[in-house]
Structure 1
């Protein structure tokens, strides 16, 4: 793997997380990523950066070799995957965080450079990025967030979100498995909330034993996990996080929808 040398003064550690492994092509030596806003939602990155971490790079190479890729080709693929080359035709919204979830995480932060590289690896067609595997690209995203200092639970939640997208885009039985998992998750979360309310607050519940319903709903998390295949761990994280993320996200979604409606009414009555 090629990597910056001590004499290459242009490549300096990313100032946001100097020990992350990210190095930036910055002639000023400050380790800054130059980002310009080009419209209301899109930005362009003006300088190159790359991720340099021997252990993670070797892990990716080994994974590609195990998939049948010759070693020289695998090393070239990983070198391309870990490097972000700026182009005017690759605008970004940074991390694609829905507005109603930005109370949990912003589009920018310690995960920013990992998200930018991940976006380059995930294209409109499944498994067509530099690594030839969206699943492996998702794991690479998680590892880049780890070295950047993103807390354990947050990076695993973000990983489970991109893993869910990967299985959906793959289509076929993988998409069907996601649909079944979502149905089971909605049923399990509803049962968990309802039975907990029945136990703690006396909410009406259709069975005489809400405790049994609560245990059953929690067991559904593990029963449904195999529907994610090799990414079953992402299923567990997503299901547990959804127990508290989803209700808050629903409230935030409707609150934001109410704001948009208020703005529309303001325009109708001529307020500017």
Structure 2
């Protein structure tokens, strides 16, 4: 496999939203965003005020010369400049879609922002169209690969871009690996892909993450001498048990990743990330819960 060569000039100005001004290779892309607020849907505690969701509208398009798997380049321009059929809302992005618990690891904005906006245009929810101009349809799997390459071209660090790629690949697995969203069209995995393959990858992904999470809990209990159930931990000193646990946090994801077939790299990275960040994630989740609980009680008392 050829070594990846970063090339920032692959990103350039994509022209006006209506397409009257064409893409301009060699001209730096202009990231001009309009902030839009609208009520957030979902569960709310009694008496809790409506929360607002923040999205952004692009004021100018972004162009990127993506690398094809088979060689050559494919120009991708986001958002699409043509009207959709049936009509849909204009393209909006929430920047880098990352849960609040992991914003310390992957910020919503930064050097990778143009790549995140590009990915948002190529991949949408089932009830929304993909919003990009390209000479050919782009599958979700290829959109994730293009996202990883684009981050590399923008100077995102090696570890962070592969970690972010594995995260979006997990989302692709849950949506349907074989789905190919086309510009200006809505398509669900059931209608545009192989349902059996999609469910195979979903089951493997969920089983992998659950297995690693359960083993993480058991390893913690074993380390604390609360329950001796994992044979590789044994009855040893704290340092040796810690090193054995860390080693298996790599070995177990490596073995389980074989079930991911062509997506084994994503399974391996996601598994290791979960195993090594398990305790940090649990601690942050508890702190976040306590913070929101205090904030909610304070809100009720003030009102």
> Residue in 1 aligned with 2:24?
none
The answer to whether the 8 A contact 1:191-1:217 is kept is no
Q: Alignment RMSD, CA only?
A: 3.2
> Residue in 2 aligned with 1:166?
172
CA distance in 1, matches of 2:203, 2:218: 23
- SS of 2:204's equivalent in the other structure is helix
Asked whether 1:253 is paired with 2:285, we answer yes
> Residue in 2 aligned with 1:206?
228
CA distance in 1, matches of 2:165, 2:28: 30
Q: How many residues align?
A: 229
Question: Following superposition, which runs of at least 4 residues in structure 1 exceed 6 angstroms of deviation?
Answer: none
Residue 172 of structure 1: how far off its partner (Å): 1.7
Residue 229 of structure 1: how far off its partner (Å): 2.0
Gaps of 5+ in 2: 1-5, 17-26, 38-51, 82-88, 131-135, 177-197, 235-240
CA distance in 2, matches of 1:209, 1:178: 24
CA distance in 2, matches of 1:134, 1:106: 23
CA distance in 2, matches of 1:139, 1:209: 36
> Residue in 2 aligned with 1:36?
34
Residue 131 of structure 1: how far off its partner (Å): 3.4
> Residue in 2 aligned with 1:137?
143
CA distance in 1, matches of 2:288, 2:79: 36
Asked whether 1:186 is paired with 2:208, we answer no
> Residue in 2 aligned with 1:21?
10
CA distance in 2, matches of 1:30, 1:134: 27
Give the structure-2-normalised TM-score: 0.65
Residue 37 of structure 1: how far off its partner (Å): 0.8
> Residues 265 and 187 of structure 1: is their aligned pair in 2 closer, same or farther, counting only changes over 3 Å?
closer
CA distance in 2, matches of 1:37, 1:100: 23
> Residues 243 and 38 of structure 1: is their aligned pair in 2 closer, same or farther, counting only changes over 3 Å?
same
> Residues 18 and 24 of structure 1: is their aligned pair in 2 closer, same or farther, counting only changes over 3 Å?
farther
> Residue in 2 aligned with 1:155?
161
- SS of 2:106's equivalent in the other structure is coil
Residue 210 of structure 1: how far off its partner (Å): 1.4
Considering fraction of residues, name the structure with more helix: 1
